[in-house]
Every structure is written in C-alpha cells, then in structure tokens.
Structure 1
Amino acid sequence: MSIYAIGDLHLSFNKPVGLYDVDFETDVDKPMDIFGWERHYEKIRDRWVETVGPEDTVLIPGDISWALRLEQARYDLEWIHALPGKKVLSPGNHCYYAQSKKKVREALPEGMEWVDADYTLVEGKVVAGTRGWNLPGDSMWEEETDRKIYERQVGRLKMALESAAKDHPDKERIVMLHFPPVTRRVVSSGYMDLLKEYDVKVCVYGHLHGRSHRDAVEGQVEGVRLQLVSCDYIGFAPVPVQLG
C-alpha cells in the first residue's frame, strides 16, 4: 500500500462519462488546451492507471472540478471514483461547489473522503488539510481583501492539527494544502509555523502552474518536506508522497 498525490485536476465533464468514454467536443465544458493541457484528463487517466493500485491512496489537494454546483461536480467526482485506489480530497480556490463540507461528503462515492479543517487516517498516518490562501508579501497579496481569509485559513489548519495531535499523538502527520505554505518570495507564514509546531512530516500542495512553478519551494525546509503536486508540474501522473 502506498500514498500518492496529484492536485489541480481541473475537470469539467457536463454529464456522466466513463474513464474511456469521453467525447472531447461535447462532454467537456472547460477544455484546458488553452494552457497547453491537451486532453489532460486522458493523460491523468492513463498515468494513474499505470501507477496506482486498488489498495493505494491518492491525495488530491484542491481545484478538482470547475463546476459551480455540486450537482455538476458529481460528474467529475464519479470519474475520479472509477480510477484505482482510495482518494482523499481537499478544497482549492476554484472548488466553488464546495460551500458545504457536509453536502460534499454526502455526495462523494464510496472510497472517497473530503478533509477541510479536519483530518482522516490513511495507512496509519494522519492526513490533515485545508485550502490555504495567498501569503502576506506575495505579489498577489491585497491586504484589505486577503488578510481576513488568510488568518481564517491558518486557524482552520491549526484546528485540524490540534485535533489530530490530541486524538493520535504518536502518528506521523501529512498536510494537504492547495496554496503553498511558503514560496521563494515569501519564506515564512502562519501555515509553515504550524507545520513545524505540529511536527508535520510532509506537506503536499498545488495551485502553482506554468511560470509560477519557479516560485515553488520543495524538499526539506526546517524539518518539513514540501512537495508541489500540481498535475502539470508532475507530468499528470500521481507521485509518491515522500515521507522518507
């Protein structure tokens, strides 16, 4: 059994489709070809099937579906469900359908979990998660609009890690964030402080695409392994979570 991760699937099916039964012209609402992701769902499917076994788990940290409503997101979630392995999902900034954690969880097919300001257990390890947000000092940061959201998301991560540490003090901890906890431009944050405080072994994150890959920080940072898993960054193939 292994734990893999892949983020930012950005699916947009407009009706129920099979893994190998997608009409690109009629079944996809928001093609990603404009970003150079030609029929990227086929790449994800083929590489996922080659990599992930039925007893493995895949972490998907946000931007899973472009759907605005949960009813439409179900098409993307069902397509993911048909892929091998168990899945643990957390929200991204484009997951507009995920206004209610309770409703998302009720809509998920069997073998799929949603974590948001809380945690689950995967193969004897804690997996905690929340969305995250822009970092103070980043080029995209706007103090008036971002400060409140940022601080709330830091609080949500703290809530998840506090609960996990209380319930399972001896288990290794993995964190799923959509936004990076630090970048090459912003070398500290409330998220990073919590990752260190709660002895998190690895944090997987997404959100960075194209030229933004240059801002990514990966590898060991003050005892925490950071791992960018945006699907375009990792070649549209789930990658092992690097616990060692």
Structure 2
Amino acid sequence: MSIFVIADLHLSATADHPMDVFGSRWQGYTQRLCKHWRAVVGEQDTVIVPGDVSWAMHLSEAKADFALLQSLPGTKYLGKGNHDFWWETAAKMGRFFEENGFSSLRLLYNNAYVVENYIVCGTRGWFVEEEQQVTVGDVDYAKIVNREVQRLKISLDAAKRLQADGNEEKEILVFLHFPPVWNGFSCPEILETLQAYGIRRCYHGHIHGVYHVPPKRQIGDLELHMISSDFLDFVPLRII
C-alpha cells in the first residue's frame, strides 16, 4: 500500500473554468488525470490532494467532482486551496460526504492521520509575498498569515499527539497548498513553524505553468516538493 500526492486537480464538472490559459499541457487534463490515476493508484492506496480540488462555488455544486474522485481508486485526503470556495465546516462537509456515499474522501484540515508508516497533516498556507494576494482582494496579509500559522500548529500538534501515542518512529509529512518558499520570496512564519517542529518533508502545489524548476528544493533540513498537477503532468506522485 502506497501514498501518492497531487495538488490542484481543478475539477469543473459544473463550473466553466478552462485551465488551458496556463498552457497546452492543460488540454483534456481531467481525462488524462483519471487515466493516469487509475494506472498507478490501487484501491488500498492513499492519495493526498493539497487544495484546489474543485472550481465549484458551493458545496452542493461540487457533488459531481466529488463523485468523480469517489470513482477513482484509493482513499483521498483533501486539503484546502485558495480556489476551494465550496469549503464549509468540517461537520457540514462530513455530513455531505456521508449522505452522498463519498466514503473514500477525508478532510486534511486542523487534524492529522496515521497513514501506513507515516503521519500526515497540513493546511492551506498563504502567498509568500503580500503583493501576490491582489487576486483575492483587499485583505489583511499579516492577519491571514497568522491564522494559517495557527492552523498549521493545530495540525502539527495533532500529529505530535499521534506520534506520542505509540507512533514515535513515524515521520510527520506536511502538505500545504501554497509553497512556503518560492522564486526568491518566503513566508518566514510558516517556514519557521515547519522547522521548529522538526519537519523534514513538505509538499506543496499552487504554482502553474512552471516546469523548469527542480521537483525538490532543500531549505536547511527541510525538503520542499513541488506537486502541482500540471508540474506532475497529471500523474499522482508516489512518495512511499
């Protein structure tokens, strides 16, 4: 049984959001994603999806996209991205999944799970520089970063509790939507939190149309892995 990861599925069964503005690699991406997913992921495997799951604006509108995910092999852990406008409270989403038979979907948010010989957790994160957030409007950068740091700490504390409960040998893997470091900029508050908790591997998406960068970067003892769907050519990446 393996763990795979792929961010930024950008499913759009009920929303008209063409992704080919980011390049020809996005043409027919949903069909290619499903084909590759079924080729590499088995029913007993796990797939982490760190955000930008669906373009739906409301939870009910995401039903067809969740149904597609349900039809794919494996247990899926869904994180929150900046385009997941359908996101509701954990209780409401849990009921929605149960009522619609989405038994293979889990939420990765303010919590942690033991998966195989690892502990997985994560949160959304935020832009690495304030100027980039103009795409979401006039918001308080420092306030949002502080909130995301607190959510990351909640998730990491949950992971540490699992680790202390008979799982001391299990490494904690962190999955963010936003990169904590990118293109000469960084979000020091998130980066410092990861380092303070001794995290060695962090996976992120969000970046599109960039294919020349190395898939892994080293920041001190921390490995940062780029796992945006188009960067992976829509093939879920096996990490163990």
Question: TM-score band (shorter)?
Answer: 0.7 to 0.9
Pairing 1:60–2:49 present: yes
1:124 pairs with one of 117, 128, 141: 117
Segment drifting more, 231-240 vs 123-132: 123-132
Q: Tell me, yes or no, if structure 1 residue 90 matches structure 2 residue 79.
A: yes
By how many angstroms is 1:138 displaced? 5.7
Aligned residue for 1:45? 34
Identical residues among aligned pairs (%): 34
Root-mean-square deviation (CA, aligned residues, Å) is 2.1
Matches of 2:71 and 2:108, distance apart in 1: 20
Equivalent residues, number: 227
Secondary structure of the structure 1 residue equivalent to 2:145: helix
Name the structure, 1 or 2, with higher relative contact order (CA <8 Å, separation 6+).
2
1:140 to 123, 132, 136: 132
SS of the counterpart of 1:154? helix
- Contact preservation (8 Å) 1:63, 1:91: yes
Which residue number corresponds to residue 58 of structure 2? 69
TM-score by length of 1: 0.85
Unaligned ranges ≥5, structure 1: 15-27
Q: CA deviation at 1:188?
A: 5.5
Displacement of 1:33: 3.1
Cα contact 1:126–1:174 (8 A) shared by 2: yes
TM-score (normalised: structure 2): 0.86
- CA offset at residue 105 of structure 1? 2.2
Asked if structure 2 preserves the Cα contact closer than 8 Å seen for 1:181 and 1:189, the reply is yes
Cα deviations by residue, 1:119-143 (Å, 9 ceiling, x for unpaired): 12211321111111112x4651579
2:3 pairs with 1:10 = no
Alpha carbons 2:130, 2:141 under 8 Å: kept: no
Within 1, Cα distance between the matches of 2:190 and 2:226? 15
Structure 2 unpaired stretches of 5+ = none
CA separation in 2, counterparts of 1:200 and 1:149?
22
Q: Contact 2:124 / 2:177 at 8 angstroms: preserved in 1?
A: yes
